Amino acid sequence: MALPSIDTAERRARVTARLLVRRDGPLAVADDLVALHATDAATVYLSLAARLAAPGVDAVERALYDDVSLVRLLAMRRTLFVVPVDLAPVVDTAAARAIAAKEREKLLVFLDEGGGWDAAWLAAAEQETLTALKRLGPSSGQELGAAVPALQERVTVAAGKPYEAVQTVASRVLRVLAAENRIRRDRPRGSWTSSAYRWVESAPWPELPVEKARAELVRRWLASYGPGTEDDLKWWTGWPLGAVRKALAAVGAEPVALPQGEPAGREGYVLPGDAGATPPAEPRAALLPALDPTAMGWRERSWYTDAAHADRLFDRTGNIGPTVWWDGRVIGGWAQAPDGSVVWRLLEDAGADALSAVRAEADRLTAFLGDARVTPRFRTPLERELSGSAS
């Protein structure tokens, strides 16, 4: 019996209907996207702003720092994400705990090789740090370093090599405490575009059965990003293939044929009963930031962006830059000019309606950015060219 087929047009329709919907609040957007890339602080705000009915920095800051309905975790693929707080224990068990354990192992090796310090020394330094944080309240890494002598210890990295450097242990200790959610990132010292976070007290998430957590994360991913292949999920989660297959089986994922935009013979998967057509909707334009979760949702990307544009939209390691979307596909890129305005370029002719809609989105984004200036951490050729910093 032939598998149900989901073609490229249907996949693009799902992008519009599930991943580019305008919502009233940041939490609703995050629920749609499952996890927002947070390597760049600004990406979280820009990903949300592109999908909020009334975008504003204050609403995002409330969600991150006041209500704490959105939280940061070092999770899939050892990447920093922002997820809804109700999903945090799932993501923590399914992905973050294993990464935190590896981070602790690496830290102990670093401390032993650099200063002869062991696990007991680290435990004492961590306790001093937590005690200082309780006393000081929200504190920067620099403030904690001044309060905790152990954090001021220095280690020579890559001794004898051209890139030899001396580092304090503070940033690595704080990173591991954060990976275990014993502390969390709070409001940055600078503006919303800054990654110079203050730290506040936190507590580890409750641990769930691992296979149950993985199944729930895959269920959420399929609901938003399905259909996807085993390879897509393996890449997105960072899990071994066996774990991906177990999770797909646990949610009863149904195979579908992906005749376009996938290597020959590939099957995709959807949730049970989700192979039907998406109701027709008006095309929608969106200006998404570098590393936006929609653009980074699948390993295989040829169905939503022309391979001929890849060398302009992606950096050398596969990180995508700021993109212009229309009708569920990438049609160009954008950047912020030195004067703060949003400038963009279409890489294909999508028609007059697309042109008008993209122009309106660029004006909307310019208004949101205001006096802020945003430069992606991973820069791409088109973004550099449009921003006036091509080299």
What the block records as the tokens of 151 is 């954090």
pLDDT at 265: 53
Look at residue 297 and tell me if it is in a domain. Answer: yes
Look at residue 348 and tell me if it is in a domain. Answer: yes
Yes or no: say if 51 and 22 are a contact pair by the CB < 8 Å rule: yes
Look at residue 32 and tell me if it is in a domain. Answer: no
Domain count of the fold of the chain = 1
Per-residue confidence at 391, pLDDT binned at 50, 70, 90? very low
Domain that holds residue 364: 285-387
Note the Cα 159 to chain centre separation in Å. 34
Angle at 138 between CA 39 and CA 149, to 5 degrees: 95
What is the pLDDT of the chain when averaged over all its residues? 94
**Whether the predicted model's global pTM rises above the 0.85 cut:** yes
pLDDT at 318: 87
pLDDT at 297: 96
Look at residue 370 and tell me if it is in a domain. Answer: yes
Rounded CA-CA distance 132/359 in Å is 50
Going from the C-alpha of 349 to that of each of 12, 308, 387, the distances in angstroms are 17, 14, 22
Look at residue 277 and tell me if it is in a domain. Answer: no
Task: Give me the mean pLDDT over the 311-322 stretch.
Answer: 93
Look at residue 111 and tell me if it is in a domain. Answer: no
What the block records as the tokens of 385 is 């060219």
Long-range own/partner contacts, residues 364-371 (CB < 8 A, 24 or more apart): 364/55, 365/46, 365/49, 365/50, 365/287, 365/334, 366/340, 366/341, 366/342, 368/49, 368/55, 368/56, 368/57, 369/336, 369/340, 369/342, 370/340, 371/340
Look at residue 204 and tell me if it is in a domain. Answer: no
- Residue (of 200, 205, 226) closest to 85 by Cα position: 205
pLDDT (tens digit, 9 = 90+) per residue, 152-205?
999 887 777 888 888 899 999 999 999 999 999 999 998 999 999 999 999 999
Yes or no: say if 229 and 221 are a contact pair by the CB < 8 Å rule: no
pLDDT (tens digit, 9 = 90+) per residue, 37-56?
999 999 999 999 999 999 99
Look at residue 76 and tell me if it is in a domain. Answer: no
pLDDT at 167: 86
Per-residue confidence at 262, pLDDT binned at 50, 70, 90? low
pLDDT (tens digit, 9 = 90+) per residue, 285-301?
999 999 999 999 999 99
